[in-house]
Amino acid sequence: MLPAVPWSEVDRRARAAAGGPVTRTGGDAGLTVRGLVTDSRRVVPGALFACVRGATSDGHRHAAAAVRAGAAALLVDRPVAPDVPHLRVPSVRAQLGPLGALLAGDPARALRLVGVTGSNGKTTTSTLVRGVLEAAGARTGVVGTLGATVGRRSRGTSLTTPEAPELHELLRWMLDAGALQAVVEASSIALDMGRIDALAFDVAVFTGFEEDHLDHHGTVEQYWASKARLFERDRTSAGVVVVDDPWGRRLADQAPVPVTRVGAAGDADVRVLGWRTGVGGTEVLLADDTGGHRVRSPLVGRVHVTNLAAAWATGRVLGVPAPQIAAGLAAVAPPRGRNTVLGGAGRPLVVVDYAHTPQALAAAIATARDLCRPGGRVHLVLGARGRRDRYKRQGLGASARAADVVWLTNEGSHGEDPAAIVAELRVGLLGAPAAVRTVLDRRAAILAAVRAAGRADVVLVVGRGHETRVLDTTDPLDAVHLDDAEVANLALIAEHGPPAAADDDPDDLDALADRAS
């Protein structure tokens, strides 16, 4: 249970964090509040309700409803009608981190924290870092796109990085469950909106960069600057940065904290010397200041090479011995929807992945090509999310040119015309040697791709990964169940039967060709 916090302590923390005047109205010496809430529908008796201004709503309009639900006090930035104790501050949103931390009992102060940001690879790298830290003997929680987990317990989250009050409550939940450490995925939007304010990280990790979320940030520079905020002195003590792209090298050069560089370049502190991958997993040869190290992981695909290297570097920065890092990486199961491999055993392989940017899609197709048997083809099931990042649709189409057959389909139109979305993807495919088919029904598209694939082929289904709900309107209540992996499994059985008793797929890493990084 969250602690009861004196109203005077809330006032004191708010004044310390405010960039302007704070006015306290009402509340006697005995008043306490328990928990900080931003949604009036989630108010419980005794809570402090924060009236946050959003893009489409203003929490001040729901103040009365929050009071009726039992809110003991309000956090506002303009006058409101309910006659209850309240603090008026210059910006309610700017107070969510500091007050969220206070009302959760400041759990972050008792935890060693790792923050992970980057355009791609956040979820996998966060999962790997958690495995490394747990191999060192300390229970570690993780918060990210797949939800929050500590030990065998898990909770769902609606955002990659939850709003600050929820995030601090999750850290309290982890601390109460015996965690000593936590790994937090830090999205660019979360950094922009202050969701990780009041957190001090021991290490910040940057997994790489390509333009994304420009519908929020406006420009690539603003997007990069948002991610770079994680590496400010008041946010982290050290950084681990993948420097295989110019943006990573720029961050490593400009960060005001000590940085461990990761990548294939000769000046990297943790250098990728070579790697190989197959359906049995991935093996990476790394070099650092202690010499060479061979890392093995059940994760499939070249895209995970730098994720493994970044997790290795993070462990070293935190003082974890090399044998324990290697053991932790080897024990981490592939995160759901990140190059999830199905089929084989005399049937085509199906790979389900979250890739939803042009670079991530190119890497996913390269992995699918690695997994093909001799003469095999790559069948790509591709869509794009409606009302989001429209500018990158042609780029996705351009990356898709590397596949042999492209099945264009709906990924969740969110009120847009699915056919219009597919038409924008097609622009990037103009003149491509790939055969292009359009099957707007996503289930039917996956089934058609699996039906058309031979045993040497790979069907790559991208864009949704772990997600199990798809929305074609603007009303979230209209979302319906659709799990790409579930549909692919059913298609494999329907079209190719159950797996053969003997699997002759080359899942032994020693049977795979070495690949220089």
Query: Is there a contact between 245 and 209 (Cβ–Cβ < 8 Å)?
Result: yes
- In this structure, of 18-32, 168-182, 258-272, 408-422, the range with the lowest mean pLDDT score is 18-32
Work out whether strand 435-438 and strand 349-353 pair parallel, antiparallel, or are unpaired.
unpaired
Task: State the pLDDT at residue 107.
Answer: 96
**CA pair distance 432, 145, nearest whole angstrom:** 34
Q: Do the annotations mark residue 160 as ligand-binding?
A: yes
**CA pair distance 37, 49, nearest whole angstrom:** 5
Residue 259 predicted with pLDDT over 50:
yes
pLDDT tens per residue across span 413-430: 999 999 999 999 999 999
Q: Is 502 exposed, middle or buried (0-12, 13-18, 19+ CB in 10 A)?
A: exposed
pLDDT tens per residue across span 53-85: 887 789 999 999 999 999 999 999 998 887 899
**CA pair distance 320, 334, nearest whole angstrom:** 22
Q: How far is CA 382 from the centre of its chain?
A: 20
Interior/surface letters 140-165, b for 16+ CB within 10 angstroms, e for the rest: bbbbbbbebbbeeeeeebebbbbbbb
Q: Looking at domain 5-98, which of 3.30.70.1060, 3.30.200.20, 3.40.1390.10, 3.40.50.2300 is its CATH number?
A: 3.40.1390.10
Task: State the pLDDT at residue 238.
Answer: 98
State the SS3 of 329-380: HHHCCCCCCCCEEEECCCCCEEEEECCCCHHHHHHHHHHHHHHCCCCCCEEE
The reply to whether the predicted model has a pTM over 0.75 is yes
DSSP label at residue 93? H
Task: State the pLDDT at residue 337.
Answer: 86
pLDDT tens per residue across span 141-168: 999 989 999 999 999 887 778 899 999 9
Enumerate the domain spans of the chain: 5-98, 107-331, 340-496
pLDDT tens per residue across span 109-138: 999 999 999 888 899 999 999 999 999 999
The first and second tokens of residue 484, run together, are 């790409």
Q: Do the annotations mark residue 187 as ligand-binding?
A: yes
CATH class of 107-331: alpha beta
Determine the 3-state secondary structure of 429 from DSSP: helix
Contacts of 117 (CB under 8 A, 6+ apart): 185, 186, 187, 188, 191, 204, 205, 206, 207, 227, 230
What is the tally of helices (H) and strands (E) in the chain?
16, 26
Determine the 3-state secondary structure of 139 from DSSP: coil
Among 94, 6, 76, smallest CA distance to 46 is for: 6
CATH code given to domain 340-496: 3.90.190.20
Task: State the pLDDT at residue 516.
Answer: 32
Residue 510 predicted with pLDDT over 90:
no
pLDDT tens per residue across span 312-365: 999 999 999 999 999 999 999 988 888 899 998 889 999 999 998 898 899 999
pLDDT tens per residue across span 215-229: 665 688 888 788 889
